[in-house]
Each structure stands twice: as C-alpha cells, then as structure tokens.
Amino acid sequence: MPRSEPNFPIPTSIRRVLGVILILFLALLLFLPRQSHEWLRHVGGPFARILEVPLHAVASIQNSIRHTWDHYIALQDAWEENQLLRQEVQRLQGEKNFLREKAIIATQFQQLLAYQETTPMTTLPARIIGRNVSNWYRAMIINKGNQDGIHPEMGVITDAGVVGRVVRVNPTTSIVLLLSDPNVAITGMIQKSRDEGLVQGTPQGTIHMKYLPPLSPVRPGDPVVTSGLTNDFPRGLQIGRIHEVTKADTDLFQLGEIEPIVDFTKLEAVLVITSFQPALPPSLPKPAVSPSP
C-alpha cells in the first residue's frame, strides 16, 4: 500500500493571526510603499526582489494620484482667479462705456457752446432727458424749465439747425415738440429763390413745405431756412433741403418735402432761444470813489 503523508491541520487561531499579519503587511505595501521599500532593502534576498515590482507599481500609482490631485487643486485656483479676472474686465468695460458716453455728451456740449458764442442771439443749453415718439406726437424732454427762464413757444435749435418748439414748461423740465410733429408749423424760405412757405410736420414723421408759389423754380437739393417772420426763430437758421417737389393739377401751390438737417434721433443736447438779441456781457464793477478831503 502506498505510504500516506501525515496531515497536520493548522489551528483556527493561528490562521487568524496569520491573516491579520498578511492584512497588515498588505496595508504596509499599499499605504507606505516607500517606507516598506526601504525596509525590504535591509532585509535583502530573493524575497525583497520578488516584492520590488509590486512595490514600484504601488509607488507609481501613489505618485500619479498625488500629481492628479495637485493638478486639480491648481486648476481650481486658476478657475477662481479666472472668474475674478472676468469680473474685473466687466467692471472696467462698464466704466469705459460710461466714460465714453460722457465724452460723447461733452463733445456735443462743446460744439453747442462754441456755436453759442458766435450766434447773434441769446440761447440756453439744455440736455435731453426723455423722448416720446409715437403716432400721436413726437416730443422730447429737456432738463431746463421756467426756473431757468424757459417759456412756451420758444424755439429749440442745435449748431446745425432747427429742432422744434417748447410747448409745455415745468419748474425744472420742459417738453419740446420736434419739427416733424404735425402740431409744429414755422415759416420757412427757399434760400436760393427766396420763396416763402409754411414748414410743418406730418403724422408720418416727414416734414413738408406748403404754399410754395406755383411758378417757384424750387428744385430738389435747395436749402430751406427760417424766414424770421415769427417770434420763435430768427431769420436764416437751417431747416433742411428740398427732397421732392409735387403739384397736382387741382392744386394751386407746390408742395416740397424737406429732408431735415438735424437727425432728431441722435440728439443729446440742444439750445433754447431765449432772445433774438445777443447776450449782454457782464457789466464791470464801478471803481470805488474815495471821499474828497
């Protein structure tokens, strides 16, 4: 009969102790690969060479995890810094737009003030603070009122030409009807032929010159100016140019359509004519007279 090898069973307690030792050893390999590598270097022998490959692999994985984590933290910091830079750029862009608007308004005011110094009448500069363009009327609101000497029926102009007329006045603001409103009518004149007519807006927002003489040689492109026959505008202010002339067989007068010289949609500031006479310079103070001895 064949000879059987003796079988020595390992007690359960010893197996448990060996299992705990194996778990601790694996934990040492996983979580402290560098330290375990140094320890195994002192042990030497084939056992250390066998474990060197998995130890290097675990160390490489640990370095990769640490590198990935550091990279994520760096990206998170860069993202937060990028958000702050975006907010700063938006703030600076807003300031740039605000300063640009102030520069545009300041440029228009400088042009108006330069014109105000040369014009032979008294005017008051005002800023436009509101607009109303509807099917009923075309108007704008300026930031000057009766406290500043503004009254209804005063003419409103720019350095280019006629804008409209003041129709309502409050203490600090006024409403100005534009020349394109059908409720505004002023006397005009063809500058070349000297023929006069009535300049008035239409419900469609265009400007017509009515009652032109039937034999007037008016042509498209002829400039139209104020005639000075009313109390709102002096003579010679630019209104626009004739765009088209029409006359039906049943009409007695010619009708001219005017292309205004002022773009009403782009106005920021205007001048209100307070007097046809130029502003008087401030009087110099009289020298003090010393009492006679």
Domain end position, chosen among 118, 150, 177: 118
Which residues have a Cβ under 8 Å from the Cβ of 106 and sit 6 or more positions away?
none
> Which of 118, 145, 160 is the endpoint of a domain?
118
Taking alpha carbons only, the member of 229, 139, 222 closest to residue 175 is 139
For residue 25, is it within any domain?
yes
128 and 76 inside one domain = no
At 2 the pLDDT is 52
Q: Considering the entire predicted model, what is its pTM? A: 0.63
What residues form DSSP beta bridges with 189? 196, 225
**HEC sequence for 129-170:** EEEEECCCCEEEEECCCHHHCCCCCCEEECCCCEEEEEEEEC
Interval 191-237: pLDDT, tens:
999 999 999 999 888 999 999 999 899 999 999 999 988 788 999 99
What is residue 224's three-state secondary structure? Answer: strand
142 with 25, same domain?
Answer: no
- Any domain includes 132: yes
Q: Report if residue 96 sits inside a domain.
A: yes
Q: In angstroms, what is the C-alpha Rg of the chain?
A: 46
Same domain? For 139 and 221 the reply is yes
The predicted-structure confidence for 227-282, as pLDDT tens digits, reads as follows: 988 788 999 999 999 999 998 878 889 999 999 999 998 888 999 999 887 765 55
Residue 255 and residue 155 share a domain:
yes
**pLDDT tens, position by position, 103-147:** 777 777 788 888 888 888 899 999 999 988 666 678 999 999 999
- SS3 of residue 21 by DSSP: helix
Greatest distance between any 2 Cα atoms in the chain: 166
CATH code: domain of residue 251: 2.40.10.340
Q: Is the alpha carbon torsion for 57, 62, 65, 67 positive or negative?
A: negative
Ranked by mean pLDDT, which of 18-22, 45-49, 158-162, 247-251 comes out on top?
A: 158-162
Kindly write down the DSSP assignment for every residue of 50-90, as one continuous string. Answer: HHHHHHHHHHHHHHHHHHHHHHHHHHHHHHHHHHHHHHHHH
Domain of residue 98 covers: 15-118
Considering the domain architecture, whether residues 47 and 82 belong to the same structural domain is answered as yes
Does position 171 have pLDDT exceeding 50, yes or no?
A: yes
Please list the residues that pair with 177 across neighbouring strands.
139, 165
**Is residue 44 exposed (0-12), middle (13-18) or buried (19+ Cβ within 10 Å)?**
exposed
Two structure tokens written together for 64? 């990769």
Half-sphere exposure of 27 (CA within 13 A, CB side): 6
Q: Are 113 and 208 members of one domain?
A: no
Which residues does 104 contact at the CB level (< 8 Å), separation at least 6? 268
Judge whether 290 lies within some domain.
no
Q: Do 252 and 109 belong together in one domain? A: no
Structure-token pair, residue 201: 């807006």
Same domain for 204 and 193?
yes
Q: Which of 279, 192, 271 is nearest to 232 (CA)?
A: 271
The per-residue pLDDT for range 64-109, each reduced to its tens digit, is 777 777 666 667 777 778 878 888 888 888 777 777 777 777 777 7
Residue 281 lies in a domain: no
Number of domains making up the chain: 2
Residue 292 lies in a domain: no
Whether 103 and 135 share a structural domain: no
Q: Are residues 111 and 163 in the same domain?
A: no
pLDDT band per the 50, 70, 90 thresholds, residue 293:
very low
From the number of C-beta atoms within 10 Å of its C-beta (0-12, 13-18, 19+), residue 59 rates as: middle
Shared domain for 129 and 60, answered yes or no, is no
**Residue 39 is assigned to a structural domain of this protein:** yes
Looking at residue 137, its amino acid is Y
Indicate whether 86 and 203 sit together in one domain. Answer: no
d(CA 285, CA 157): 34
Q: Within a domain: residue 2? A: no
Say yes or no to pLDDT of 180 above 60: yes
pLDDT value, residue 66 = 72
Tokens, residue 46: 């084939």
Out of 118, 151, 173, a domain closes at 118
